[in-house]
Each structure stands twice: as structure tokens, then as C-alpha cells.
Structure 1
Amino acid sequence: MIKDDFYQYINNNWLNNTDIPNHESRWGTFNILAEDNLNKIKLLLEDNVNCSNPDFIKLCNLYIQSLNITNTKPKEVVKTFLDKINTINDKVQLQDFINNQFFLYGISTPVSYYVDLDLHTPYYILHVGTAGLGLPDKEYYLDDNYKDICKKYKIFMKEYLELFDLNFDIDTIFNLEKILAKNTYSAVEKRNPELMDNLYLYEDFNNNFKELNIHLLFNNLKKNNKNIGKINVLNPKFLKNNKGTGYIDLWNNLPLNIWKEYFIWLYLRKLGNYIHYDTEIKLFNFYNKDLEGIKEMKPLWKRSINKCEILLGPLLGQLYVSKYFSIDDKNKVLKIIKFIKNTFKHRLLNNEWMTSVTIDKAITKLNKMNFKIGYPDKWRDFKNYNISNKFTFFENVLICLFNDTKYYNNYIGEEKDLNQWFMNSHEVNAYYSPQLNEIVFPAGILQYPFYSSTNNIGLNFGGIGCVIGHEIIHGFDDQGRKYDGNGQLVNWWNEGDKNNFIKLTDKLVDIYSNIKIYDKNVNGKLTLGENIADLGGVNIAYYALINYLDENQNENICTKKYDCFQQFFINYANIWKCKYRKEALLKRILVDPHSPPKVRSNVILSLFKPFYKHFNITKDDKMYRDININIF
């Protein structure tokens, strides 16, 4: 069976004896480690209430406060907001109010605003996107297969708003979302940075989309900086199009009361997990139970930590690494990174389908790639977060949102900040940032089975080594390859090399698109970047292990059953073990750029020919594929 279904064979005992917890949509390696980290954080929060660090005290107080469910009715919690919006008499006032909610609290609906790097310069600018849909993807509105979900969604909308004694026209709000969905990018389109690169000078934006009253928002954000005058619109057709179905077209044609009801709905839904226990229940029943098949809510303490993570995530990470991260482990991981990076450089130099000009530029990008391990060199300052028990939990939430929004908005016009982290230190994950050309490995993922100082080196290379390789390859996948070593959107590829890349990756698209899960095909285009990274990650981690053992022969340790390289492949299959509820897996296939776990394991190994050698795979075995795709 090991030659027919490697993933199942390696994880068979775990898969057959593990049940998904009732409060989870899936359960696997990442979830197990995250659960363990949650328990550690819970103890830290309970133990640090009276510590000497004022920021940790704020975090602990917010956590304790969130455990005490308020007796105040939902509508009383948001009374100030509802009173303000009820005084609005025209669309100009409403748009200014919407803009102000972004400027104060970062609440962007239905047009989203955020500050991020310009795609062509090392400066932060304002970006305008979309954030008006209550369903996870446009297909839920447009595909008849999701009619039942839409019915449940409308029931949820009605019942949710009734908690605030609001009786809105649900069909009108839903139909408005449906029209907006038609002009929203698909999950595949959202992966194309060139499609979302639409720069406007401030004056041109204001002339084209004057209804957004951007000048008031811009005046609040503006600094004495020459880089402030550009705005990037991710999807201009969402705002205005020749069909008359853009947001601004609808804004001009629909009456004020519809927009007020729509915005109230979006605001209350987005803040629902902070408002009241009853709003949490309604959100859970639809988004988690109906859409993902989860049977029951997470315990209150877990939900409370999740809220703290959203509001004060860097502080949670700082608290975690103060006890649970070793500098020695960081140095050992850096050693693995060095071997994997050098191996990839060697493979680029010997690449057979790229010309030397493109190879040289790829190596330049690789050499500029930065690696962050464990936690930031400098922790973020939270002294202005005046969280206090004098305020209600919801008021403290708004204090957090206000300061968080101010923190990010202050970047506008400034030069690239290489100290920023976009993931908290306790998280079990990793990421590559194309605009910073850097890879980040939080402390949370640097533990068994991904990495352990007591692991056989084959296990470490098959775990964290493959993750390191995966993230490096993201810099050269179908998205990452469009950015240069400075993180700017530049076409640095020879045209012939670009065509060769597309021919090779089209083969991957075809393979994955023909895989069915519950009669639904995996989306080979949506998952392409992750599949390229998976294949390349295993490739360079494997050859890096060979190079490592050449220099460290004493670490080439065999067990009674498996040699070092077999352990490499075994741990690769092990780290992806995961069980899904059917509803959650079907949702993942629709919206998630990652392939399902078993697919990530078996397809990649079946495409990697050295795997065949170590497990004697032949044409008679189901793990065998009569195709060779060697990209990186």
C-alpha cells in the first residue's frame, strides 16, 4: 500500500483513530500545534495579569474582560453608531460617515481602503478594493449549486438584524450584494497582481470617482510627502463600468435608505464577534455550522484568545516567545536555510529551460531574499492602546481598532519598512512576501514535527526544510516571478523563458484540474502557485539534504526500518496529515489556493522521481506517474 497511496500508508493509524473535534472544521498537524500553543497562551494570560510589563497587563485584562459575557442587549452596545447613522439625510453625509469609519476603525465597506506598498516604488500608498460581500466567494451568489446556501444566508441576515430590533428588506440587500458580486474578481483573478495594478493620481481618482468623497479621507491621511499623490484601484470595474452595475453607478441610482440599511448590515456583521454572545452564536450558526459543518462553538476561552489575537496579535506573540522559543533552535534553522538557499542557487545555475540572462536575475533576487526567524528584532509599541476596565469590552475593541488603523495609516507616503511582520510569532504558519522579498517563519511553526533539535536530520529537512523550500519557490512561482529582487512589479523574464515557464506550469494545472474531491474538481489555476511551491520545495529540500549530509556524515542516521532519505519523505507526508469535514473541504476547493492535504502529499511525490528510487516505485504502482515536470 505504501507504493499505491503513500499519504494513507504513512498516516493510516492517525487517520483511522482521530476524530475532528466538534468545534473544528478540520484537524491536522497545523491544528494540533495551534491547539497546543493556545493552551500555552491561556496559561500565560492567566499568569501575567499582575506582571510588570504594562502592555502584557493590557492584553491580559482584555482577555479576562472578553470572558465575561455582557448582559447589555446588542442594540445598546452599538447605540452610538446607530444613532449617528440615523441622523444622516443624504448620500454625501453617508459617504463621509463611511470614510470616517475607515479612518477611525479600519472598517471598510462596501469599498475597502488600506495602506500598502506601491507595486512600482518602495513607498506606501492608499489602495482601494472591495469588501461588500457576506458570502465567501462570488460563486455563491452566481452558481445555482449554492441556492440552498443563499437561502440560509438570507435567513441568517434576517435573524441577525432582529437581534438589533432592525427589520430591513433582506431581499433588496441580498440582490445588491449579488450585483456587486458580478463585478468582483474571482479567486483566480485575485492571484494576478498585474490585473490589480491600476494607478491613479489623486486628482484623476477624485474626478473619476467623485462620489467616494476621497478628498476628505485623503486630507485626514495626508502628510507633507511627495509620495502621497497616488492611489491604486484594485478593480476599477467594480467601482464603475459601462453596464451601469458598478458600485458608484448603483450608488447614484439606488435610494439613500437602501444604502443606509446595507452599510448598517455590513458594519454589524463585521463587528459581530465583539458585540454580544447572541451575535456570536448567529455568526457561528451560518459561517461555521452551515458553511463548514462545524458542530459546536469553540469554548469561550478559545474564542476570547482569538479575539485578542486579532486585536493585539503581536503582543500575544511577544508573550509566547518570552517562554517558548530558543535562540539555539533559531540558529539551527538558519543553518538549514543556508543549505537550501545554496542548493537552489546551484539548481538555478544548472537550469536547462532558462537562459543565462534570466538565471542571473533570478539569482540576484535570491541573494536579496531576506529571512526572518521566530520573532521581530523590534517589538511594536502598544503604549497608546489605553485599554482599561473602566470601559466596556466593545469600547476597548474600538480603542484597539482605532490605534491599529492609525498605526497602518501612518505608513502612507513612507518608505518600505523591513521590520514589519504580517504574522504573529506564535502562529503555526509561514509566508513569503513578494513586495518585501522576504520569508518569515514564526516561532510557532518551529516545533515537532516540522522541526526539533532531537529529530533525525532527514525528518527536519522533510518538515521545516520543505516548508523553507516552499516559501523560497513562492518568489519564483506564477505570482512571485512577476516581482524583482527589490519587490517591485517588473517583467525581468526573457520572453522565451516566460513561455517555457508557462508550458511547464500548464502541465501542473492539467494534472490538478483532473483531480476530483466529492465530485468537485480541484482548481488547477487557483492552486497553481502553491503547487509550484510544493513541488519545488520538496525538490530543493531533498538535494539540500544530500549536500548537508556530505558535510555532516555523522548525522546520516538510519532507524531499524527507514534510512535518512526515506524519513525525509515520510515526514513530508506526515506534516500534511489532516481530516476535513465535507462542507469545509468543498468550501476550500472553491476559495483556497492550497490543494487538499492528501493531494499535496501524493501528487507532489508522484512527480518527484528520486522518491521512486527510495521506495522502489515501478510502473505497476499507483504512486507512479509517466510524466516528469522539473521546474525548479
Structure 2
Amino acid sequence: MNNNEISDSKIRDNFYDAVNGEWIKNAAIPSDHSSTGGFMDLVDNIDKTLMNDFEDIKSGKIKPQNNDMVEFKKLYELATDFDKREQDGAKPVQPILEKIENIKSFDDLNKQLANWTLDGLPLPFDFGIEADMKNAKYNALYASGAGTFLPDKTYYDKENPAGAKLMPVFKDMSKQLLVMAEYNEAQAKNIVDSAEEFDRLIAPNIKSAEESADFTKMYNPMSFDSLSNKVDKFDLNSYVKGLIGQIPDQVIVSEPEYFDAFNKIVNDDTFAMMKNWMLVKAINASTGLLTEEFRQVGGEFSRTLSGKKASVKKEKAAYYLASGTFDQVIGDYYGHKYFGEKAKQNVHDMVVKMINVYEKRLSKNTWLSKDTKEMAIKKLNALQIHVGYPDKINPLFDTFKVNGKDENGDLFTNIHNIGKLVIKHEFSKWNKPVDKSLWDMSANTVNAYYSPLENVIVFPAAILQAPFYSLKQSSSENFGGIGAVIAHEISHAFDNNGCQFDEDGNLNNWWTKEDHEHFDKLAQSMIKEFNGIPFAGQKVNGKLTVSENIADGGGLSCAEEAAKGEEDCNLRDFFINWAKIWRTKSTEQFKQLLLSIDVHAPSELRAQVQVKNLADFYTTFDVKPDDGMYMKPEDRVNIW
């Protein structure tokens, strides 16, 4: 539908529906999707393009341009050798299951604990390396709790009906997988029942998605001795020494309550349950590397959770597996071939323009003191910008060597070996400087992000196309699309989490007490604006989504100001394209899942609610108090 065909009267009544209603009515969710819309259309097109290219690489029509692509080609050939995968059956995973079965005591496990992690095997805790929040130039050791079978601890609440429906699905699937791996029915049932018992011991002691959304509360530094002394049955000293080469003075514990409860969860009485929990975790993690039946059965829980009617075709699953393993290599290929240096520079200039607009807005801000303003602008000017694709990719990928079909290689072993290299590489970064040039997303990812620990914003090539950005769109449409996305990521530097980090990425309060108290009141207003909005038979959690809502509000407002600075400004086009980029049609199950775990508000509400905060929306569409889109001035939230 042309923008001019959308009537203002419909917009005044329901903005999102006026712009997207016709599309929603006609859109069909593909059977292997849980949603369709602006983002997913781009994902599907990129997948189609790259799958065609990779078939040409496999057939020899396209020659791999570098050694990394040669290794990718070998892995892709193994992933798509479905006959070989059928012949291998359950054999590749059986040594891993046997390894878990052969553990007879905690002493047995402690003797091989570091290698256990390097082999990618599950444990009832997790260690990793991230930038130190208080000294972000260097990497630190972090410890957290274990992941549960269900997506969030709230699913384990007795009053949550979703958990009661989903756990039987997960258990039936896991039993079937174990039988396929040559356990008998009784064994499989006992393993899964016992594993569920252990899983339910973990759940009350880990953080929920809402609790995890308060990012800075992850920072709980502790002497390593103190943590080690909290854990009776695991020798954490030898474990960590085996991973980073020494016992560190300090570890940052993201879930201290979990380790306070650890000995009640993990002890001699629960040892057998823990083993069974590890078996269930291991078999579920392996299904995508085995036969088609394993893949189909192993996806049942995920499909139930998201409302997908079917799994993706095996060819696409093989593409996801191989390209996901070589993600930065594939991103580099995509970025150079389908994006290029000219577009990279154009979008970089647009980001700089948005930063300049943001700086003006900060300097004119009426509620920040002079000192806080100066620090905010200092942080803004220190922001690093990454657009399109990285200038260099992580040298880790140069170490990936694949034993291909010609060398009698198999998919499972190669993925296992590459996984081991990745985990070793992660732990090798401990106490070393953070490399801010490396991206956490590949260039073929339809997304963008801000990292508070690096003070960097990243816009992969894949999102830099219509409806977000196109030379065929007007400047107002581009600002309503990619402009708002760019300003959204900039706003994350000043959301309820990002505002607590300085220009170097350190957790450091640079606000005056009065300014921070005022900001907290505004953040509470944003929580209130979204909290309790009915959606998909449930309600929006304003606390879970506050950081993204603050970024949306700041992003849209800032992008609007940039659009108004252009000669061809058309605010009607600006707002309409904002609604278009959020057009989404999802299964009911997927909507409900996201309400429980996603820090973003539902797409429809991101489009619909934020515009009500902007005075120009009311004048552009002549919105009056009796209209559905009207919000009283005193209820409108404007932070940035």
C-alpha cells in the first residue's frame, strides 16, 4: 500500500493497524517459522541468496576466495552429506553418552573437569570470559548458574500453566531421543524423570529474565577462594587452573544466590540425578548433528514453544549449521559481495549525523546538570562505530581445519573439534586486553547492537536494506527506518543499564545524585507506560522491557529531529516507515514466549506506543483527545 493511500482517520484510531493491517490480513507465516515480517523477510532473502551461492561453491561454479572459505566448503559438504549422516546413525553421540555414564563419583569427574568443559559437556555451573565491568580494557573470569530445560525460571512456578504443559513435551522428546540412542524404554524414562528432579532443584536459584535484565547486578566480584569454598563437591581450583593456567585472585559471580545454594543442589544424594541431567542435556545438544530423525524429534520442544508447524528443511538446517560455525567468515563474504565499501561509507556518515544530532539534544537537555551533560557528551564522542562488516575477522577462524569427505571426516567430530578450539580460545583471553575491533555479530545478521562494556555500536550489512534503508526511499523514510535503529543503539549508551558505564566501558557512576534520581523517575514512567498492556492473552512486563523501551523512545525522537533537518522532510513518511519496520505476524505461542523472556516489547507495541510520546505525531495526523491514538500530555514519556 502506498503511504498516501493510508487514511489519517485510520491512523488516528490505530496507527499500527492502519499501516500494517492489510499486510497482516494477507501475510502467511511459513510452516517452519514462528513469525514473518520486516526482519524475517530480510533473513529469508539472505538465507536464499547465500544457500544458492554455497551450492555453487560446492559444485565448483564459485571458487572459495580464501583459506577460511575452503574450510567452510568442506564443512558444508559434510553437513549436506545426508546419506553419510543416516549411515552413522546414533554412533557419533554414543561415546559422549558413555563418557557421562562412566562417571561413578565426583572424584571421577574432578579428574577430568577442565577437559569436560573443553569437550562442551554440561556441568551444573558455567564459567566464561568477558570484559571486567570495572576495568573494561581487560578480560575477567565470570561464574554463573546452570541453564534449565524450560526457557525461564518463571515457567517452574506452580501458577504458570505454560510450564505444566511444556515440561511433558520436553520429557517425551528426551525419552524418545535416548531410545533412539539405544537405551531401552525403562532406562530412558528413569533417566528423564531423574533429570527433571535435578532441573527443578536448579530453577528456583537462578535469575529470571527480568532479574537478568538489570545488567549491572551481574557484577559481584569475589575472591576465587571464597567461591571455591562455597562448592563442596567440585574441585574448582584444579578446574580453573586447567582452563586458564592458574588460579585467579578474583572471579565475578553473576548469580551469587545460586552458589550460596549450590551444595543443596549438588551433593552425594543428587549425584545420580545430576548425571542423568547431563545425559539429557548432552543428547539434546547433539540432535542437529545426527540423522534426520534425530533432528526432527530433537526439534519438537522448540516447535511447541514457538508454535512452528514444521521444522526447517534439512538443507536449510545444514546451511545454518555450517554457516553458524563459520559465522564471521560468512559475514565477511556476504558483506564484501552484497554490501560493499560505498554503502559502508554512506551508512557510516548517517551514524555520524545521528551522533551529532544526539550531541545537540544532550547540550540542550533541560533536566541534566552541566557536569552530567559534559560527561554524557564525552561518552557519546568516544562511541566507536562499526558498519557493514569488520575490517578484519577474528583470527580464531584461521585455526579451523576440517577433515573433509576426502579425508573420511565426519560432521560430528569436526564440529566437536572446532567447538573445542572456540572454548580454548575463550579461556585464553583471561587477563588479556579486550579487542574492541572484533564483532559479536556477523555481517549477514539482520540486527544491530550496542555494547556498554566496549562503548561500541554495530550495524551489520544485513539490516542496511529496505525497509530500513534504501537509496530509493526518501530521507524521511530512511530516518524512520535505519535512522531510528541507529539512534536506538546510541540511546542504549544512556538507558537504565548503559548510563551506569563511562566512555571507556567501565561500570562507573558519572551522574550527579540529583540527575540520576530524576532519570530513575523517568525510567519508572517508561516502565509504567508499558507495564500491564494486554497482549496475546497475557500482559507486558514493563520492568523486563524498560531498557529497550528507553532506547526506542530516544531513538525515535532523535531520528525525527534528524529527519526535520533535511530539505525533503515529510513526517508522515517518517512515522509510517517506523510502523512498517515493525510489521510482524507471529504464532500465539511465540508471542507468549517472548513476553516471558524478551527484553523487547512486542513489535506492534514498539510501533504503536512510542509515537504517542511525540508531539509531532499529534500535529502530523491531527490526533484529538477522542481518538484511539491519543495520550494525555502528562502521561507521555520523553527521556532523550
Tell me the TM-score range normalised by the shorter chain: over 0.9
Residue 503 (structure 1) shift: 1.2
Aligned residue number for residue 334 of structure 2:
320
Residue 309 (structure 1) aligned to one of 317, 323, 332: 323
Work out whether residues 98 and 109 of structure 1, in 8 Å CA contact, stay in contact via their aligned partners in 2: no
* SS in structure 1 at match of 2:215: coil
Aligned residue number for residue 55 of structure 1:
68
Residue 101 (structure 1) shift: 2.6
Aligned residue number for residue 629 of structure 1:
637
Distance in 1, Cα, partners of 2:306 & 2:94: 32
Aligned residue number for residue 601 of structure 1:
607
Aligned residue number for residue 4 of structure 1:
13
Go from structure 1 to structure 2 and tell me whether the alpha carbon gap of 1:76 and 1:185 turns closer, same or farther (over 3 Å shift).
same
Distance in 2, Cα, partners of 1:185 & 1:99: 25
Work out whether 1:330 is the aligned partner of 2:308. no
Q: Following superposition of structure 1 onto structure 2, how do residues 330-369 of structure 1 map, counting pairs within 5 Å? A: 330-369=344-383
Aligned residue number for residue 239 of structure 2:
217
Aligned residue number for residue 418 of structure 1:
436
Residue 511 (structure 1) aligned to one of 529, 537, 541: 529
Distance in 1, Cα, partners of 2:215 & 2:524: 19
What whole-Å deviation, never above 9, does each CA across 1:388-408 have from its counterpart, x for those lacking one?
222111011112211222222
Structure 1 runs of 4+ aligned residues shifted over 6 Å read: none
Residue 229 (structure 1) shift: 3.3
Deviates more, 1:457-466 or 1:132-141: 132-141
User: Which segments of 5 or more consecutive residues in structure 1 lack a partner in the other structure?
Assistant: 241-245, 557-562
Work out whether residues 231 and 262 of structure 2, in 8 Å CA contact, stay in contact via their aligned partners in 1: no
Work out whether 1:135 is the aligned partner of 2:150. yes
Aligned residue number for residue 380 of structure 1:
394
Work out whether 1:29 is the aligned partner of 2:49. no
Residue 586 (structure 1) aligned to one of 584, 592, 597: 592
Distance in 1, Cα, partners of 2:489 & 2:122: 30
What whole-Å deviation, never above 9, does each CA across 1:51-97 have from its counterpart, x for those lacking one?
25221122122122212231246541122223333332211222444
Aligned residue number for residue 232 of structure 1:
252
Residue 177 (structure 1) shift: 0.9
Q: What is the count of residue pairs matched by the alignment?
A: 611
Aligned residue number for residue 3 of structure 2:
none
Work out whether 1:19 is the aligned partner of 2:19. no
Letter in 1 for 2:80: L
* SS in structure 1 at match of 2:625: coil
Work out whether 1:91 is the aligned partner of 2:111. no
Residue 164 (structure 1) aligned to one of 181, 185, 190: 181
Q: Following superposition of structure 1 onto structure 2, how do residues 416-565 of structure 1 map, counting pairs within 5 Å? A: 416-547=434-565, 549=566, 553=567, 556=568, 564-565=570-571
What whole-Å deviation, never above 9, does each CA across 1:418-457 have from its counterpart, x for those lacking one?
1111001101100000100100000111111111122211
Work out whether residues 106 and 234 of structure 2, in 8 Å CA contact, stay in contact via their aligned partners in 1: no
TM-score normalised over the length of structure 2: 0.92
Q: Following superposition of structure 1 onto structure 2, how do residues 228-267 of structure 1 map, counting pairs within 5 Å? A: 228-240=248-260, 246-267=261-282
Go from structure 1 to structure 2 and tell me whether the alpha carbon gap of 1:75 and 1:91 turns closer, same or farther (over 3 Å shift).
farther
Distance in 2, Cα, partners of 1:132 & 1:276: 26
Work out whether residues 112 and 130 of structure 1, in 8 Å CA contact, stay in contact via their aligned partners in 2: yes
Residue 274 (structure 1) aligned to one of 289, 295, 299: 289
Q: Following superposition of structure 1 onto structure 2, how do residues 42-191 of structure 1 map, counting pairs within 5 Å? A: 42-49=51-58, 50=60, 51-52=63-64, 53-69=66-82, 70-72=85-87, 74-105=89-120, 107-121=121-135, 122-144=137-159, 145-146=161-162, 147-166=164-183, 167-168=187-188, 169=190, 170-191=192-213
Work out whether residues 197 and 273 of structure 2, in 8 Å CA contact, stay in contact via their aligned partners in 1: no
Letter in 2 for 1:263: M
Go from structure 1 to structure 2 and tell me whether the alpha carbon gap of 1:618 and 1:426 turns closer, same or farther (over 3 Å shift).
same
Distance in 2, Cα, partners of 1:523 & 1:132: 22
Distance in 2, Cα, partners of 1:446 & 1:318: 15
Work out whether residues 86 and 292 of structure 2, in 8 Å CA contact, stay in contact via their aligned partners in 1: no
* SS in structure 2 at match of 1:2: helix
Letter in 2 for 1:55: D
Work out whether residues 480 and 559 of structure 2, in 8 Å CA contact, stay in contact via their aligned partners in 1: yes
Distance in 2, Cα, partners of 1:545 & 1:518: 34
Distance in 2, Cα, partners of 1:564 & 1:75: 60
Distance in 1, Cα, partners of 2:239 & 2:325: 23
Work out whether residues 138 and 433 of structure 2, in 8 Å CA contact, stay in contact via their aligned partners in 1: yes
Residue 164 (structure 1) shift: 1.6
Distance in 2, Cα, partners of 1:54 & 1:64: 16
Deviates more, 1:382-391 or 1:619-628: 382-391
Letter in 1 for 2:35: R
Residue 160 (structure 1) shift: 2.3
Distance in 2, Cα, partners of 1:221 & 1:109: 15
Distance in 1, Cα, partners of 2:110 & 2:549: 42
Residue 312 (structure 1) shift: 1.3
Distance in 1, Cα, partners of 2:275 & 2:124: 12
Distance in 2, Cα, partners of 1:318 & 1:157: 37
User: Which segments of 5 or more consecutive residues in structure 2 lack a partner in the other structure?
Assistant: 1-9
Distance in 2, Cα, partners of 1:82 & 1:286: 21
Work out whether residues 26 and 581 of structure 1, in 8 Å CA contact, stay in contact via their aligned partners in 2: yes
Work out whether residues 128 and 141 of structure 2, in 8 Å CA contact, stay in contact via their aligned partners in 1: yes
Aligned residue number for residue 219 of structure 2:
197
Work out whether residues 244 and 428 of structure 2, in 8 Å CA contact, stay in contact via their aligned partners in 1: no
Work out whether residues 29 and 578 of structure 1, in 8 Å CA contact, stay in contact via their aligned partners in 2: yes
* SS in structure 1 at match of 2:467: coil
Identical residues among aligned pairs (%): 28
Distance in 2, Cα, partners of 1:335 & 1:495: 36
Work out whether residues 46 and 60 of structure 1, in 8 Å CA contact, stay in contact via their aligned partners in 2: no
Work out whether residues 337 and 468 of structure 1, in 8 Å CA contact, stay in contact via their aligned partners in 2: yes
Residue 98 (structure 1) shift: 4.7
* SS in structure 2 at match of 1:123: strand
Distance in 2, Cα, partners of 1:440 & 1:255: 44
What whole-Å deviation, never above 9, does each CA across 1:118-156 have from its counterpart, x for those lacking one?
111121122111233111111111143121222222222
Distance in 2, Cα, partners of 1:367 & 1:610: 28
Letter in 2 for 1:585: K
What whole-Å deviation, never above 9, does each CA across 1:204-223 have from its counterpart, x for those lacking one?
33233353322223223335
Work out whether residues 48 and 56 of structure 1, in 8 Å CA contact, stay in contact via their aligned partners in 2: no
Work out whether residues 465 and 541 of structure 1, in 8 Å CA contact, stay in contact via their aligned partners in 2: yes
Go from structure 1 to structure 2 and tell me whether the alpha carbon gap of 1:380 and 1:73 turns closer, same or farther (over 3 Å shift).
same
Go from structure 1 to structure 2 and tell me whether the alpha carbon gap of 1:277 and 1:579 turns closer, same or farther (over 3 Å shift).
same
Letter in 2 for 1:630: N
Distance in 1, Cα, partners of 2:390 & 2:607: 32
Aligned residue number for residue 40 of structure 1:
49
Deviates more, 1:454-463 or 1:278-287: 278-287
Residue 33 (structure 1) shift: 0.3
TM-score normalised over the length of structure 1: 0.93
Distance in 2, Cα, partners of 1:41 & 1:420: 23
* SS in structure 2 at match of 1:115: strand
Work out whether residues 509 and 525 of structure 1, in 8 Å CA contact, stay in contact via their aligned partners in 2: yes
CA-atom RMSD, angstroms? 1.8
Distance in 1, Cα, partners of 2:362 & 2:158: 43
Distance in 2, Cα, partners of 1:154 & 1:323: 45
Aligned residue number for residue 5 of structure 2:
none
Residue 610 (structure 1) shift: 1.2
Distance in 2, Cα, partners of 1:60 & 1:564: 48
Distance in 2, Cα, partners of 1:418 & 1:229: 25
What whole-Å deviation, never above 9, does each CA across 1:569-624 have from its counterpart, x for those lacking one?
11100000000100110111111111111100010011111111111111121111
